[in-house]
Structure 1
Amino acid sequence: MSVGRLCQLFGVSRQAFHQREHYTQHAHSQSMLVLDLVVALRKEIPGLGTRKLYWLLQEPFAQSGIRMGRDKLHSLLQAHGLTLRHKRSAPKTTNSAHGLQKYPNLLADQLISAPQQVWVCDITYLCIGLGFGYLSLITDAYSKLIVGYCLHPLLTSEGCLRALEMALHQERPQATTLIHHSDRGSQYCSFLYIRKLKEAGIAISMSQYGDPYENAIAERVNGILKTDFRLNQVFTSFEEAARAVERSIRNYNHLRPHMSCDYLTPAVAHGSEQPLKKRWKPKRYNASKEPTESH
């Protein structure tokens, strides 16, 4: 059927039909240009939301004669799957608001010069389905070797205890020469955990003022496992997450060179009798530091 016949049937002129077709093609071309601009910006800044994108696109819009409001931009991004998904809220793994005994920081101004001198400990979370799993890690502060770990479905002291038992079994540290350093979370202050440390003759040290540097090595290891070994993904089951944790820690210990260990792997650095060459001057925590108050 001809265009003229269709226009007669719908009661519109041929001119209006062609104008509408031209407008549709023009709008489609503009939308494609906007999407190209958004992709280019997101390549440099992946987390740009609609509000900031709209602000940054004002100059390109003006140069190209594009008239598009923020709501229309959001609808366009949504139609093409380019809206950002909100990150799920991260669970809090440290609860220091408890009445259990806390211990002082024994690492202030101390130089770590050998394996089995300091173990640093922390808990991080993994996304499993719609919930979380909690990974307890114990790392030798000198060699950066992960000596104990446990992925547990609950944020209790049981996961930390299992990681500690693994570390004690594998390392068999000499009594009175090892410091165990952690945050002041209830898991590390629990009766069973403290008793296990004391039975092994391990000195207990804890961070004091919430300064991330007080447990920086442990937090750095958490970050490496999540970014370099992709433990920041969403796992479909606890079993899948546990397999990924085991594989990642094995590869971290034996395959990944560590810059703070003179580019040796943690396993090699842990067994080396030669002193490790540091690539930067180690920062010392100031024992006299006091918590600051905001006014």
Structure 2
Amino acid sequence: MSVSKAGYYKWLKQSLSQRASENDSLLEFLKKVSSDEHCIPGYRKLWKAAIDNGYECSKGRVQRLLQSMGYRSAAGKRRYTGSGKKQGHITAENLLGREFSVDEPNTVWVSDITQVRCREGWQYLCVILDLYSRKVVGWATSRVNSADLVIRALKKTWDARKPDGSRLLFHSDQGSQYRAKETISWLNNRQVTISMSRKGNCWDNACSESFFAQYKKEWMNNLNELSRSEMTVQSRFYIENYYNSVRMHGTLG
């Protein structure tokens, strides 16, 4: 079948016009998702949201559209670990072994600590995640990075979840706050099995590391410098009103 040159260009113009209209619609949707979530999510999560809402598009198309308007996900920053050895502290073996998929709640908790610069100085956030749901099940903040911070987070989590300690594995890095006698005793008194990452191996605690990367680039890095009390309020809002209830967790589908 022969097609005239004029007919071809007419068809091409209509196709380009339809594509442009689809792009405009998709771009407006992507903007709305970002605005509603009060964050700067990556293009993969925005692409999944588009697919879930009936848009036919590739990851590359979403990425190109976002780049065309100067949009990009904020880059993460390296997290301070503060895990120096202290005499008398105890180190446990890595019993978790990067087995991040579990079948029941309250069988594996993972924990980590990060720091956020505030107007008065550093403020520390300790979180505990349940690997079953990948949600934050307990947290605490303090201006001092100590065993007391970890224990306060553990107490809040324990009171809320009421687990069977004999069936629970608690995994962390080798930070001095986790190896402290106070922390070890608190866990031992409840028959909790203790597991720790190998020294200098962040992938052994990848789920906690991932949470803090998202916490900073989706939330804290988009705010002006806060006071310590404001940081605690913002951390609570991110964890309880966004991360646990709204945010799309890639590993869970």
Query: For the superposition of Structure 1 and Structure 2, which TM-score range results when normalised by the shorter chain?
Result: 0.5 to 0.7
- In the alignment, the residues of structure 2 paired with residue 213 and residue 245 of structure 1 have an alpha-carbon distance, to the nearest angstrom, of 24
- TM superposition shift of 1:231: 5.4
Partner of 2:81: 93
SS at match of 2:171: strand
SS at match of 2:149: helix
Give runs of aligned pairs for residues 1-295 of structure 1, distance below 5 A.
92-99=80-87, 100-108=89-97, 110=99, 112-129=102-119, 131-230=121-220, 233-250=223-240, 251-262=242-253
- TM superposition shift of 1:109: 6.3
1:113–1:259 CA distance, 2 compared to 1 (3 A): same
TM-score normalised by structure 2 residue count? 0.64
Report the residue type matching 1:94 in the other structure: G
- In the alignment, the residues of structure 1 paired with residue 72 and residue 134 of structure 2 have an alpha-carbon distance, to the nearest angstrom, of 32
- In the alignment, the residues of structure 1 paired with residue 143 and residue 135 of structure 2 have an alpha-carbon distance, to the nearest angstrom, of 24
- In the alignment, the residues of structure 1 paired with residue 72 and residue 163 of structure 2 have an alpha-carbon distance, to the nearest angstrom, of 47
Runs of at least 5 residues in structure 2 that lack an aligned partner in the other structure: 1-69
- TM superposition shift of 1:104: 0.2
- TM superposition shift of 1:141: 1.5
Runs of at least 5 residues in structure 1 that lack an aligned partner in the other structure: 1-42, 48-88, 263-295
- TM superposition shift of 1:248: 0.7
Output the aligned Cα RMSD: 2.5
1:188–1:141 CA distance, 2 compared to 1 (3 A): same
Q: Deviations over 1:61-90 (max 9, x none)?
A: xxxxxxxxxxxxxxxxxxxxxxxxxxxx97
TM-score normalised by structure 1 residue count? 0.56
1:241–1:97 CA distance, 2 compared to 1 (3 A): same
Q: Deviations over 1:233-284 (max 9, x none)?
A: 443311111110111111211121212122xxxxxxxxxxxxxxxxxxxxxx
8 Å Cα contact 1:94-1:184 kept in structure 2: no
- TM superposition shift of 1:107: 1.0
- In the alignment, the residues of structure 2 paired with residue 177 and residue 210 of structure 1 have an alpha-carbon distance, to the nearest angstrom, of 28
Instruction: Identify the structure with bigger relative contact order (alpha carbons < 8 Å, sequence gap 6+).
Output: 2
- In the alignment, the residues of structure 2 paired with residue 258 and residue 44 of structure 1 have an alpha-carbon distance, to the nearest angstrom, of 21
Partner of 1:75: none
Q: Deviations over 1:158-188 (max 9, x none)?
A: 2111111111011111121110000111100
Partner of 1:285: none
Paired-residue identity, %: 28
SS at match of 2:233: helix
- In the alignment, the residues of structure 1 paired with residue 221 and residue 137 of structure 2 have an alpha-carbon distance, to the nearest angstrom, of 18
Q: Deviations over 1:26-81 (max 9, x none)?
A: xxxxxxxxxxxxxxxxx69999xxxxxxxxxxxxxxxxxxxxxxxxxxxxxxxxxx
1:229–1:130 CA distance, 2 compared to 1 (3 A): same
- TM superposition shift of 1:211: 1.3
Which sits farther off after the overlay, 217-226 or 111-120? Answer: 111-120
Q: Deviations over 1:127-149 (max 9, x none)?
A: 20162100001111121110111
SS at match of 2:177: helix
1:91–1:107 CA distance, 2 compared to 1 (3 A): closer
Paired residues in the alignment total 179
